[in-house]
């Protein structure tokens, strides 16, 4: 069977989620591999959420927040950015390619950018192939 990557996306309610909604109302088409989870602020994203997604077999995790300076909660997106940098290093150590975790700023008006982002990320996942982390975890578990 062809590889169909799964991308879990965490979108902040005010900018990115609204931007993704706009892609819908504008009827822009993008790859169906993405599953969006709404959170109030990208600052809410706990590293556990990302790791959980990978553990569950996600091939990629996408985080989208408001552009710097536009955060609905003043500075949650900056906090998210710091965590993201650390997380990328961390997953690399775990054997997950760092390209599998992406952070992008999407404003409420950037429906087009969002759809392009999803398509590009899907393409990246297709070139990377399936994430091996889930299967390797399962092996450990069987032992």
Partner 1 sequence: MEEPRIGVYVCWCGTNIAKMVDVEAVTTEVGKLPNVVLAKNYKYMCSDPGQELIIKDIKGHNLNRVIVAACSPRIHELTFRNAVEKAGINPYLFEMANIREQDSWVHTDRTEATTKAIDLVIAAVRRVLYHEPLEKRSVSVDPATLVIGGGISGMMASLEIANAGKKVYLIEKTDHLGGHVVKFDLTFPHLSSAKQMMRPILQRVENHPNIEVFLQTEIHEVTGYVGNFKTTLRNKDNEGTELKFGNIIAAVGLKPFDPSKIEEYGYGKFPDVITSMEFEDMLGTGKILTKYGKEPRNIAIIHCVGSRNKKYHEYCSRTCCMAALKFVHQIRAALPSTNIFEIYADMRAYGKGHEEFYAMTTHKQIMFLMYDQQERLPVIRQANRSDDCNMIIEMDEKLSGLPIEVPVDMVILMVNMEAHENVKDVVHAIGVSLCGNQFFIEKHPKLDPVATTTAGVYIVGTCQGPKDIPDSVAQARAAAARILATIEGGTVPVEVTTSFVNEKLCCGCQTCISVCPYSAISFNEIKKVSEVNEVLCKGCGTCGSACPTGAIKCKHFTDLQILSEIEGIMSMSY
Residue ranges binding partner 1 (CB under 8 A): 6, 8, 13, 17-18, 20-21, 23-25, 27-30, 32, 35-41, 43-49, 52-53, 56-58, 69-70, 72-76, 79, 83, 115, 134
Q: On the CB side of 133, how many CA atoms lie within 13 Å of its CA?
A: 22
Q: Which two tokens stand for residue 52?
A: 């959980």
- Nearest CB to partner 1, comparing residues 72 and 128: 72
Q: Largest alpha-carbon pair distance within the chain?
A: 50
Q: How far is the CB of 76 from partner 1 (least distance, A)?
A: 5
- Residue pointed to by tokens 């109030």: 40
Q: How far is the CB of 93 from partner 1 (least distance, A)?
A: 20
DSSP for 13-41? TTTHHHHHHHHHHTT----TTEEEEEES-
Q: How far is the CB of 118 from partner 1 (least distance, A)?
A: 8
| Angle ∠(114,61,24) on CA atoms, nearest 5 | 30
Nearest distance in Å: CB 88, partner 1: 16
């Amino acid at each position: 069977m062809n590889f169909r990557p799964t991308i879990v996306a965490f979108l902040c309610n005010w900018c990115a989620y609204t931007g993704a909604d706009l892609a819908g109302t504008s009827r822009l088409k993008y790859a169906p591999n993405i599953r969006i989870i709404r959170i109030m602020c990208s600052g809410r994203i706990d590293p556990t959420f990302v790791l959980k997604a990978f553990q569950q077999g996600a091939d990629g995790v996408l985080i989208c927040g408001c552009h710097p300076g536009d955060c609905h909660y003043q500075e949650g997106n900056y906090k998210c950015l710091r965590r993201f940098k650390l997380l990328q290093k961390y997953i690399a150590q775990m054997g997950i390619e760092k390209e599998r975790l992406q952070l992008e700023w999407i404003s409420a008006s950037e429906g087009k950018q969002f759809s392009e982002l999803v398509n590009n990320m899907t393409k990246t996942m297709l070139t990377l192939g399936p994430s091996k982390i889930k299967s390797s975890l399962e092996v450990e578990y069987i032992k």
